Amino acid sequence: DAGVIQSPRHEVTEMGQEVTLRCKPISGHDYLFWYRQTMMRGLELLIYFNNNVPIDDSGMPEDRFSAKMPNASFSTLKIQPSEPRDSAVYFCASSTPVGSRYEQYFGPGTRLTVT
Amino acid sequence: RKEVEQDPGPFNVPEGATVAFNCTYSNSASQSFFWYRQDCRKEPKLLMSVYSSGNEDGRFTAQLNRASQYISLLIRDSKLSDSATYLCVVNLGRGGGSTLGRLYFGRGTQLTVWP
C-alpha cells in the first residue's frame, strides 16, 4: 500500500487567500484524522471522520476552517481566508481497528506558510 | 488536565547508553497504548504498541502500569539513529464513547544520542 497521501507537500500563500489541503487515506481504513502541529502547541487534533461522517470537529479553530470527506478515499481541509497564525504542518492520518486497537498511520504532512 | 503527560526532555545520552521515558495518562478507561516516534520535520510513526504484560522489540521495551496509569519506554544500547521525539499515545476504546478511534498524544520527549 502507498500509505496516506497528502498534497501539496508545501504551500506558501498570502494572508487572505484560500488554502485547500488534500488527503487520500490508506485503502480500507474507516477513520480519517486531520492534525495540526506547531512548536508552541504540539500536535492538535482538528477533526476526524468515521465512515466519511464527521465525528468530532471541536478542534477546528474557527469558522475559517472546514473539512469534508466526500468519499472513503478522499478528504479536504480548507482554510478561507488564511492568516499568518495558520502557519503549521498539517497531517492527515487514517486507521481501522485491529481487534480493539486503533493504530494510526500518518501522511507526510503539508507544510503551510502564510505570509 | 491533559489526557497524556510526558517529560519533554531533552534527553542527551551517549551511544550505547540506556535511556527510559515515562508518561502518565489521566483516564482510567484508556484501553490501548502506543509509542510513536517522530523524526525532525517528518510525520509521527508507530514505534510499538504497549501491552498489559509489557513487551519487547529488539532494544526497545515498553511497560504499562494500569494501577498507576503509567507507561514507560526503555531503549537499550542507544544508537545515533534513535535521536528523535518519542510520543506517548493512548486510546480510550469503547469506554471513550464518541471518542472511539481517537488517539490522545503526549507532547513528546526529545532524545539526542551523541557519538
Q: Could you identify the residue written with the cell 486510546?
A: B91
pLDDT in tens, B73-112: 999 999 999 999 999 999 877 654 556 788 899 999 999 9
Chain A residues with CB under 8 Å of B87 CB are 43
Measured CA to CA, the distance from residue B55 to residue B52 in angstroms comes to 8
Q: What is the mean pLDDT of residues B57-62?
A: 96
Chain B residues with CB under 8 Å of A56 CB are 98-99, 102
Determine contact, residues A100/B32, Cβ cutoff 8 Å.
yes
Q: What confidence score (pLDDT) does residue B16 get?
A: 98
Per-residue pLDDT band for A1 (boundaries 50, 70, 90) equals low
Q: CA nearest A106: which of B83, B21, B37?
A: B37
Q: Could you identify the residue written with the cell 539526542?
A: B112
Determine contact, residues A48/A95, Cβ cutoff 8 Å.
no
In order, the DSSP letters of B92-111 are -GGGGGGGTT-EEE---EEE
Nearest CA in chain B to A4: B43
Per-residue pLDDT band for B8 (boundaries 50, 70, 90) equals confident
Q: What confidence score (pLDDT) does residue B53 get?
A: 81
User: How many Cβ atoms sit within 10 Å of the Cβ of residue B67?
Assistant: 7
Q: How far is the alpha carbon of A73 from chain B, nearest alpha carbon, in Å?
A: 18
Say if the Cβ atoms of B101 and A48 lie within 8 Å. Answer: yes
pLDDT in tens, B33-55: 999 999 999 999 999 999 888 89
Say if the Cβ atoms of B44 and A106 lie within 8 Å. Answer: yes
Q: C-alpha cell of B48?
A: 510499538
Q: What confidence score (pLDDT) does residue B94 get?
A: 61
Local structure of residue B69 (DSSP, 8 states): T
Local structure of residue B83 (DSSP, 8 states): -
Q: Return mean pLDDT, chain A.
A: 94
Measured CA to CA, the distance from residue B60 to residue B78 in angstroms comes to 10
Cβ-nearest to A106 among B32, B43, B99: B43
